[in-house]
Amino acid sequence: MKKSQTFGDRTLFAVWRDERFLRLLGQIVFLVILATFLGYLARNMLNNLRQQGMGLGFDFLPLTAGFDIGEHLIPYDRSQTYLRAFEVGLLNTALVAGLGIFFATILGVFFGIARLSSNFLIQAIARAYIEFLRNMPLLVLLIFLYTGIFIQFPKVRQAITLPGPVLISNRGIAIPWGTPTDTFPLFVRILGIGILLAITLSLGLSWFGRRTGRAPLVWLWSILIFIAAAVAGWIALPSAPLKLDAPTVQGLRLAGGQQLSPEFMALLSGLVVYTSAFIADVVRSGILAVSRGQVDAAKSLGMSGFHIMRLIVFPQALRVIVPPLTSQYLNLTKNSSLAVAIGYPELFHVAGTVNNQSGRAVEVIVLVMSIYLSISLITSAFMNWYNRRVRLVER
Amino acid sequence: MAGELTSRSGVLPPPTERYTWLGWVQKNLFSTWYNALLTFFSLGLVYAILKPFTFWLLTQARWEVIEVNIRLLMAGQYPVEQLWRAWLCLHLLAATVGLSWGIWVRSRRWAGIGLLLLPLALAAFPNIGSSLRLHLLAMDGVALIAFGIGRLGGKSLQRTAIGAWVLYFPLVLLIIRGINSGKGPFPIVGTNLWGGLLLTFLLTVVGISFSFPIGVLLALGRRSRLPAIRWTSIIYIEVIRGVPLVTILFMASTMVPLFLPSGIRPDRVLRAMIGITMFSAAYLAENVRGGLQAIPHGQYEAAHALGLSGFQTMTLIILPQALRTVIPVLMGLFIALYKDTSLVVTIGLLDLLGISRSILAQPKFVGYQHEVFLFISLIYWVFSYFMSYISQRLEVALGVGER
């Protein structure tokens, strides 16, 4: 019939029935609802803040903090700014997380392998350890370690002395530590040269490995050459770069050495022990994921047990282990915020104090959350990169 | 099976290894010289740990702190005359578990008996009151009756049992909170009186029941083809997963009142519940998404070919299969949630951990840390171990990874 009319009808229908249009409409409606909801919350918040006589903004960060922080890696006192307090907290978090990851990995790998031991008793002990810790809240463990163990040690005067000397008291643990002497800066430079040497050697060895098809122990040799450089530097220098500083009891407090507060020790040991149980499970399942046939095939090629572990099982297990391991590391870092319950001044604890002092709850929480979020995002970016790198390339 | 050439019953199973106990010891403890060394070392270790511990447990531990405060630890300051409501919830739980056991589990006799022995063992403690003992015994009775009904009813009761589980959680909230303010049978009990293990359970229950629908929606949203919805879900999930729970609880406790119109101030327990739900919804979404990804594309195409709409495809075809595969993972999530409820102490609630801390803060009970913490970690441990046992059984029963 009339061509134009049909066309007109079709455009009329098209608007209603066109899936593309409906999708767009749906999204617009969704966004409008979301924006209205968020706007409603934001307006309420601004109203409430105005009633309390407060504004919004990060202008409080350069103000004087006015509170002390017990432990700080960078110089800090109460006359410094809120920003500085946040930095102190962040560094404490980094310290606990770094040390925690290091020790938890060692302990976790140990228990993960023990869990697969052919010895029944070892296996049973590892299993009891893992099951006990996995089914218990971390916070209970932390508070128990703090109130039940680390502040229950004898008073400073009756401090337990272990060989070292390590002093253990209810005010903390003191371990011997090195204090830098005037040759220390030179020694640091020697260590730098050692690292350079190690990197050069590892690059060379991996190039050699790729050329010849042999697999030299890259890591082992690199670490050995670094240690050799360090030892040679220590001996060659006219006076030792570090002087041993042994802790002693002075009156009512411990002096000298490196002091570890009960809060720090409770947090670190709790995080390490708790996370190690999860890492042990990750390691165990990673090793089990390498199929039996791989080991059998390697044996039939005449490889030794050590070579089978190093060249066949380990690289394949690592592919399975690294992603969940990274997320355990991330969990440990995030869990360090539980220190707020035992009073170790890491990021979240400091943020709580800043909130009490300045009353800027919204800004403080936004700041803390974005710090944790950026740590997580960086970690997951690394994980994606690693996954792409080790991905199995199949036919 | 019927079509196969050899029937299963005609084939003998491979011979199992059999040892004398000496042979077992030889194989598992002393197979090589270093294994023998390890055995002696670990025997020494076990002895070194267990001996002082047993000594302490039997001679030095002072359990009166638990005895005196057992009601606080279990129910906080929930009014004594209303405590029967908590018991009612436990009886209902016993009934539901018994019914489900009768319908589905049937064969695992020993695990069931073990479960029945738990209240009996508790009732055998000498110092508990007679009403407490009566309640414990009644729980077993209720469970047994329900088990019998489930056994007799069999498959025909399946829907009832599923319905009972779905209804159980809201019902518990209603019973504990109460309905009327006056003098009826269920007067409202303010949340400030909730505490102890009761609060821990309620937080878990609320977290599970509310985060489940939200999490499923978020998972669907993340796989949506509409960019606006997909990106909203992604941002929500990744932000929540990127920050620790304590920061979310802190936000819930300080910022929820700010977000609401002035004058409305939800109580602290409700704020904690909001925080926990927001948190676990993001994790649940990721787990459900894993299940959704495992569904082969053919399922969507088949549903499409049958003329099902998108909504029908999701609710009738995709979600039932996806949720079935992720049930064990979800159990793991719920265990984590149960353990994580202990973090509400950081915003000042008196859950099991919080109330223990406040008991230990009383001058009378200073120095009882070991007893109290041993007791509450045992409680946490037993329940989460039980849940992980269920999740392993479910994994087998549902045949995850087999079909």
The token duo for B134 is 């009566």
What is the pLDDT confidence band of residue A309, given thresholds at 50, 70 and 90?
A: confident
C-alpha B47 chain-centroid distance: 33
Which residue in the set A138, A143, A376 is minimally distant from B242, CB to CB?
A: A376
DSSP A317-350: HHHHHHHHHHHHHHHHHHHGGGGGGTT---HHHH
User: Is A166 an interface residue toward B (CB < 8 Å)?
Assistant: no
A374 and A261 within one domain: yes
Contact B346, B246 (CB under 8 A): yes
* pLDDT at res. B2: 44
Contact B29 A119 (CB under 8 A): yes
Residue B3 has pLDDT above 50, yes or no: no
* pLDDT at res. A4: 45
Cα(B364)–Cα(A314) distance, integer angstroms? 55
Cα(B357)–Cα(A312) distance, integer angstroms? 51
The token duo for B209 is 């029941």
What is the pLDDT confidence band of residue A281, given thresholds at 50, 70 and 90?
A: very high
Q: Which distant-in-sequence residues (6+ apart) come within 8 Å of B271 by Cβ?
A: B252, B253, B256, B257, B347
Which comes out higher in pLDDT, residue A254 or A267? A267
C-alpha B219 chain-centroid distance: 22
Q: What is the mean pLDDT of residues A328-336?
A: 93
A236 and A383 within one domain: no
CA distance B247 to chain A (A): 7
A187 and A312 within one domain: no
CA distance to B58, B360, B374, per residue, from B62 (Å)? 9, 13, 12
The token duo for A291 is 């199929």
Contact A315, A392 (CB under 8 A): no
Which residue in the set A34, A120, A147 is minimally distant from B232, CB to CB?
A: A34
Q: What is the mean pLDDT of residues B73-99?
A: 86
| CA-wise closest residue to A392 among A273, A289, A297 | A289
A92 and A32 within one domain: no
* pLDDT at res. A1: 44
Residue B83 has pLDDT above 50, yes or no: yes
Residue in chain A nearest B30 by alpha carbon: A119
- Domain annotation covers residue A268: yes
Cα(B69)–Cα(B90) distance, integer angstroms? 20
Q: How many CB pairs under 8 A join A and B?
A: 149
- Domain annotation covers residue A66: no
Q: What is the mean pLDDT of residues B223-250?
A: 92
Which residue in the set B29, B243, B353 is minimally distant from A120, CB to CB?
A: B29
CA distance B300 to chain A (A): 18
A196 and A287 within one domain: no
Residue B47 has pLDDT above 70, yes or no: yes
A341 and A205 within one domain: no
Which comes out higher in pLDDT, residue A60 or A337? A337
Contact A141, A149 (CB under 8 A): no
Q: What is the pLDDT of residues A153-171, one digit of tens each?
A: 888 888 888 887 888 888 8
Which comes out higher in pLDDT, residue A14 or A224? A224
**Which A positions 279-298 lie with beta carbon below 8 A of chain B?**
none
Q: What is the pLDDT of residues A345-383, one digit of tens each?
A: 999 999 999 988 888 888 899 999 999 999 999 988 888
Chain-wide mean pLDDT for chain A? 86
Q: What is the pLDDT of residues A168-213, one digit of tens each?
A: 888 888 888 888 888 888 888 889 999 999 999 999 988 888 888 7
**Which B positions 245-264 lie with beta carbon below 8 A of chain A?**
246-247, 250-251, 254-255, 257-262
> Residues A362, A367, A371, A376: what is their CA dihedral angle, to the nearest 10 degrees?
30
User: Is A340 an interface residue toward B (CB < 8 Å)?
Assistant: yes
Which residue in the set B239, B246, B340 is minimally distant from A340, CB to CB?
A: B246
Cβ atoms within 10 Å, residue B271 = 22
- Domain annotation covers residue A88: yes
Residue B1 has pLDDT above 50, yes or no: no
User: Is A45 an interface residue toward B (CB < 8 Å)?
Assistant: yes
ipTM comes to 0.85
R_g of chain A, CA atoms, integer Å = 29
Residue B231 has pLDDT above 50, yes or no: yes
Residue in chain A nearest B47 by alpha carbon: A125
According to the 3-state scheme, what is the secondary structure of A31-49?
HHHHHHHHHHHHHHHHHHH
Contact A121 B43 (CB under 8 A): yes
**Which A positions 18-37 lie with beta carbon below 8 A of chain B?**
23, 26-28, 30-31, 34
What is the pLDDT confidence band of residue B219, given thresholds at 50, 70 and 90?
A: very high
Residue recorded with tokens 């995709």: B318
* pLDDT at res. B183: 67
What is the pLDDT confidence band of residue B399, given thresholds at 50, 70 and 90?
A: low
Confidence (pTM): 0.86
CA distance to A55, A59, A129, A351, per residue, from A357 (Å)? 15, 14, 42, 10
Amino acid at B46: V
Contact A257, A246 (CB under 8 A): yes
Highest mean pLDDT (candidates A328-332, B64-68, B293-297, B318-322) = A328-332
A362 and A332 within one domain: yes
Cα(A38)–Cα(A160) distance, integer angstroms? 58
Q: What is the pLDDT of residues A89-99, one digit of tens each?
A: 999 999 999 99
Cα(B148)–Cα(B145) distance, integer angstroms? 5
A281 and A199 within one domain: no
Which residue in the set B43, B250, B353 is minimally distant from A140, CB to CB?
A: B353
Cα(A249)–Cα(A174) distance, integer angstroms? 10
* DSSP annotation of B128: S
- Tell me the chain A residues in contact with residue B251 when contact means C-beta distances shorter than 8 Å: 365, 369
Contact A337 B247 (CB under 8 A): yes
* pLDDT at res. B394: 74
Amino acid at A142: L
User: Is A122 an interface residue toward B (CB < 8 Å)?
Assistant: yes
CA distance B42 to chain A (A): 7
| CA-wise closest residue to A226 among A258, A263, A260, A200 | A200
Which residue in the set B254, B360, B385 is minimally distant from A361, CB to CB?
A: B254
Q: What is the pLDDT of residues A210-260, one digit of tens each?
A: 888 777 788 888 999 999 988 988 888 888 788 888 888 887 777 877 888
Q: What is the pLDDT of residues A290-307, one digit of tens each?
A: 888 998 999 999 988 888
Choose, out of A48, A111, A129, the residue to mutate when testing the contact with B (most B CBs < 10 Å): A48
Q: What is the mean pLDDT of residues B376-402?
A: 79
CA distance A36 to chain B (A): 13
User: Is B380 an interface residue toward A (CB < 8 Å)?
Assistant: yes
User: Is A6 an interface residue toward B (CB < 8 Å)?
Assistant: no
User: Is A373 an interface residue toward B (CB < 8 Å)?
Assistant: yes
* pLDDT at res. A97: 94
Contact A372 B227 (CB under 8 A): no
- Tell me the chain B residues in contact with residue A329 when contact means C-beta distances shorter than 8 Å: none
- Domain annotation covers residue A159: no
Determine whether A95 is exposed, middle or buried from the number of CB atoms within 10 Å of its CB (0-12, 13-18, 19+).
Answer: middle
CATH superfamily, with its number, for domain B197-353+382-403: MetI-like (1.10.3720.10)
Contact A351, A368 (CB under 8 A): yes
Structural domain that includes position A341: 84-147+256-390
User: Is B45 an interface residue toward A (CB < 8 Å)?
Assistant: yes
* pLDDT at res. A266: 94
What 3-state class would DSSP assign to B31? coil
- Tell me the chain A residues in contact with residue B260 when contact means C-beta distances shorter than 8 Å: 44
| Burial B301-330, CB ≥16 within 10 A → b, else e | eebeeeebeeeebbeebbbebbbebbbbbb
A208 and A92 within one domain: no
What is the pLDDT confidence band of residue A5, given thresholds at 50, 70 and 90?
A: very low
A133 and A220 within one domain: no
Which residue in the set A140, A147, A376 is minimally distant from B377, CB to CB?
A: A140
Q: What is the mean pLDDT of residues A92-109?
A: 94
CA distance A139 to chain B (A): 7
Total domains present in chain A: 3
Cα(B339)–Cα(B280) distance, integer angstroms? 12
* DSSP annotation of A309: I
User: Is B217 an interface residue toward A (CB < 8 Å)?
Assistant: no
Residue B402 has pLDDT above 80, yes or no: no
What 3-state class would DSSP assign to B77? coil
Q: What is the mean pLDDT of residues B79-86?
A: 84
A208 and A346 within one domain: no
Contact A84, A65 (CB under 8 A): yes
Which residue in the set B228, B244, B258 is minimally distant from A335, CB to CB?
A: B244
What is the pLDDT confidence band of residue B182, given thresholds at 50, 70 and 90?
A: low
Q: What is the mean pLDDT of residues A74-95?
A: 90
Contact B285, B212 (CB under 8 A): no
Q: What is the pLDDT of residues B333-379, one digit of tens each?
A: 999 999 999 999 998 888 899 999 999 988 888 888 888 999 999 99
- Measured over the CA atoms of residue A51, residue A57, residue A63 and residue A67, the dihedral's sign is positive
What is the pLDDT confidence band of residue A3, given thresholds at 50, 70 and 90?
A: very low
User: Is B401 an interface residue toward A (CB < 8 Å)?
Assistant: no
A263 and A330 within one domain: yes
State in Å, rounded, how far the first CA of chain A is from the last one.
Answer: 59
